[in-house]
Amino acid sequence: MTSERKRVFTNTPWEEKVGYCRAIRVGSQVFVSGTTASDEDGNVIAAGNAYKQTNYILEKISTALSSIGADLSHVVRSRMFVTNIADWQEVGRAHAEHFGENPPAATMVEIHRLVHPEQLVEVEVDAIVD
């Protein structure tokens, strides 16, 4: 039996150009694509501030989750990609503030760069809705 798939689109330019959705739910599993601090027009939010970018990203992820019947408490795994590992404390602080009493398994790695040079952080999450 095939599970129904529910997709969420935020209509950012990247979704159409690259061919992906922001999030997809298959049964009880939810996967949220790598998310950066960019608005619907592709403009980078909070350039130069990893903490503010991470907050914006996690709010964007939270909105995507809620549109398919999930929330941050359902997240079981997060992956954080940073362009400068020296920003780990600021990124980690925002992550901890958003997940609070429901921390997921998490990974943070430094990468060379993201699509836009002002993007400092990208986050993706997986969730399970009971």
* Radius of gyration in angstroms for the set of CA atoms belonging to the chain, rounded to a whole number: 14
Tell me the β-bridge partners of 8. 23
Q: What is the pLDDT of residues 93-116, one digit of tens each?
A: 999 999 999 999 999 999 999 999
Q: What is the pLDDT of residues 39-97, one digit of tens each?
A: 988 899 999 999 999 999 999 999 999 999 999 999 999 999 999 999 999 999 999 99
What is the C-alpha to C-alpha distance for residues 60 and 125, in angstroms, rounded to an integer? 12
Q: pTM value?
A: 0.95
Q: What is the CATH number for 29? A: 3.30.1330.40
Domains of the chain: total: 1
What domain range includes position 68?
Answer: 5-128
